[in-house]
Amino acid sequence: MPKTGSSIVILKQVDSTNNYAMAKVHAGMTKHGDSYFTTEQTAGKGQRGKQWDTANGVNIALSLVLEVKLLNASQQFQLLVSVALGCYDFFARYAGQETSIKWPNDIYWRDRKAVGVLIENVFQGGNWSFAVAGIGVNINQTNFDTSLKNPVSLKQITGKTFDLELLAEELKNDVLVRYDSIKKENIDSSLAEYNSHLFGLNKRVHLKKGPIHLETTILGVSSFGQLITSDAQQERRFDFGEVEWVI
């Protein structure tokens, strides 16, 4: 049976906190702000169908239920911005100013990945009713699988060991604060802050679009969630999933 504490349902082991949370949403057994936390996932979910690999007992896997009835389907990027900023607030508090948001919503420290985010949506009767924000954070892990490109943890950055349940509660609150504020504010101000923390901003980067490699400069992200870049040929705009970073 799951343990409940500090408004977070604590699961000893689960295939995926997102799967668990989505099942609760579909069953009508959850509400805005409910969250599900574990340190042991057997089949964590990442972006674009990838698996989120994490060591057991040392990291955070958290899924947060967000009621989105005040937003419409065209505002999905607005939701993503709020979640990304909440994760940024949390991680930068401990890791410092070298923290950034890698488009669309991963959190990086220097050029290494610390936080992965997967947002899944629930539509009921054609209306966008809930979103489940799945967040994986590398906290106390110090040894990573060599197949992972560029992971980093808070312990590697700070040299400290952290209480995972306390940090999960803190992360949840940071995301909820950002989500509540973005509903009340103009998206432009939140987007400007998102772009100010953007990984690679105003820097020359390498992107891959299918077999084509591009060397281009990151200008920012549009209100529609497109990555904007510029090079000698033209300004370019890319939808999520259209290009891969070469790091």
Q: CATH number of the domain that 163 lies in?
A: 3.30.930.10
**Residue 213 and residue 191 share a domain:** no
Residue 3 has a pLDDT of: 47
Q: What is the pTM of this model?
A: 0.92
Same domain, 120 and 241: no
Q: How many residues does the chain have?
A: 247
How far is 84 from 137, CA to CA, in rounded Å? 13
At 43, is the pLDDT very low, low, confident or very high (cuts 50, 70, 90)?
Answer: low
Confidence check: pLDDT of 136 > 80: yes
* 230 and 146 housed in the same domain: no
Q: Are 222 and 150 in the same domain?
A: no
Structural domain containing residue 212 = 204-245
Three-state DSSP state, 164: helix
Dihedral angle over CA of 154, 158, 163, 166, nearest 10 = -70
Q: Give the contacts of 71 (CB within 8 A, at least 6 positions apart).
A: 78, 79, 128, 183
- 126 secondary structure, DSSP code: T
Provide the mean pLDDT of the chain: 90
Q: Same domain, yes or no, for 74 and 173?
A: yes
pLDDT value at residue 149? 82
Spatial separation of the C-alpha atoms in residues 167 and 156, rounded to whole Å: 16
219 and 124 within one domain: no
Q: Are residues 65 and 186 in the same domain?
A: yes
Residue 4 banded pLDDT, cuts 50, 70, 90: very low
The type of residue at 90 is F
Confidence of residue 187 (pLDDT cuts 50, 70, 90): confident
For the segment 203-209, the average pLDDT, to the nearest whole number, is: 95
